Amino acid sequence: MRGAFLAAVSLAALPAEGPARAATLNLLIWEAYIDEQILADWTAETGIEVRQTFYDSGDVRDEILADPNSNVDVVVTNENGARLYGKRGVIAALDQNNVPSLKDYAEGWASRCGGYGVPYLWGTMGILYRSDKITTPPTSWADLMKPAESLHGHIAMYDDHAEAFVAPLVLLGKSVNANDNETLKAAYELMKAQAPYVLTYDYVVTSVQSPDKGPNIHMALGYSGDQYTLNDKVASPGLWRYVVPKEGTLSWLDCISVSERSHNKALALQLVDYISNAENGARNAIKLNMPTASSAALALLPEDMRSNPEIYAAPEILAKSQFQEELTVQSVQARRRIISSLAQISDAR
């Protein structure tokens, strides 16, 4: 979190550039979440540099977006965030007129961004584990939430108010979008009992890079595709693996959007269109080992990738998956209090 807040400060401090001096576009995005060569090619073709600022939780991203002084031009957000900030006038409306590449996305995908973004990448939430430390793959959310004693101090969770609750709520047989206090209290009891086994509540891609934490993380809550990023970070292909628990999970979609406050909106729209076209959509999916929502890009992917269940989740998994919905203000506040309480427990240790 600390690193992400520093990123937020540096982004807000960036000088605003008028259209005549539009030498840079500011992209707010997860770390290691775009093929760098795509951005390099864009710069070579246009002369416009793309400066990336990373966040490591949805809450940090939303705080940056909500700040009227942050100079964001393009942002990757989740589908719920795209709809929410679009309705608030923070994110610009997109259609095939200002982003022609949207024609390559089926209505079922495009509608999930609410008219305020282009579907970027999608996937599931599940359990990441080190195959050298955990030889029997986990199969249930209970393996994460009610862990074996050998995992004491070896789990990485997540401090986002939405995703942090996926594991306990699904294990309880509840909706990941639960708003009622009784359900959230039951989730908290599971999370509190798990707390002694948790080494960190920082996003695993961030924490695995910490010299004191990284080597001690054996299991983590994470997103499909994170296993490839983790293996790249630790320079050990195949070490980290990913599974979706049998109880079901969250099926997520990220959208790439343009800030309504951008001083370079026309260029920002061009960048979104460039990233979203068929060729670059396929390049991005291949580089990141993640599924694309573009029908045209999908047709360009190799068959072994399209048939890889670690990338394209099996239909039976998707059938048990839930989508994110907007939470009530009271639910968000309660969830953040729970996360704060867990952080205090962790700090006390």
For the chain, give every domain's residue range: 2-122+253-312, 123-250+322-348
CATH 3.40.50.150 fits 123-250+322-348, yes or no: no
Neighbours of 140 (CB within 10 A): 15
User: Which CATH number is 2-122+253-312 given?
Assistant: 3.40.190.10
DSSP state letter for 57: S
Q: What is the DSSP string of 139-160?
A: -STHHHHS--GGGTT-EE----
What's the distance, Cα to Cα, between the start and end of the chain in Å? 18
User: Measured at the alpha carbon of residue 328, what is the angle toward residues 127 and 90, in degrees to the nearest 5?
Assistant: 90
d(Cα 8, Cα 64) in Å, to the nearest integer? 6
Q: Which residues pair with 223 in a beta bridge?
A: 125
> Residue 283, by phi and psi: left (phi above 0), alpha (psi -120 to 50) or beta?
alpha
- Give me the pLDDT at residue 10, please: 42
Give the Cα separation of 260 and 251 in Å (integer): 27
From residue 288, how far is each of 185, 285, 315, 318 by CA, in Å?
37, 5, 21, 21
Q: Write down the pLDDT at residue 271.
A: 98
Domains 2-122+253-312 and 123-250+322-348 share a fold: yes
Task: Collect all residues with Cβ–Cβ distance below 8 Å to 79 and sequence separation of at least 6.
Answer: 112, 113, 114, 117, 252, 253, 254, 255, 323, 324
Q: What share of the chain is helix, strand, coil (3-state, %, to 5)?
A: 45, 20, 35
**Cα gap 278→266, rounded to integer Å:** 20
The amino acid occupying position 291 is P
Residue 176's SS3 state is coil
How many degrees, rounded to 5, is the angle at CA 57 between CA 96 and CA 338?
A: 130
Among candidates 207, 245, 212, which has minimal Cα distance to 226? 207
Quote the CA–CA distance of 181 and 334 in Å, as a whole number.
8
C-alpha to C-alpha distances, 222 to 106, 160, 204, nearest whole angstrom: 27, 11, 7
- Per-residue pLDDT of the chain (349 residues), as tens digits, is 323 333 433 444 344 444 434 589 999 999 999 999 999 999 999 999 999 999 989 999 999 999 999 999 999 999 999 999 999 999 999 999 999 999 999 999 999 999 999 999 999 999 999 999 999 999 999 999 999 999 999 999 999 999 999 999 999 999 999 999 999 999 999 999 999 999 999 999 999 999 999 999 999 999 999 999 999 999 999 999 999 999 999 999 999 999 999 999 999 999 999 999 999 999 999 999 999 999 999 999 999 999 998 899 889 988 999 999 999 999 999 999 999 999 888 777 7
The predicted structure's pLDDT at residue 22: 53
pLDDT at 314: 87
Q: pLDDT at position 146, please?
A: 98
Q: Which of 184, 216, 176 is nearest to 200 (CA)?
A: 216
pLDDT at 348: 75
Q: How many CB atoms lie within 10 A of CB 20?
A: 6
pLDDT of residue 13: 39
Any idea how long the chain is? 349
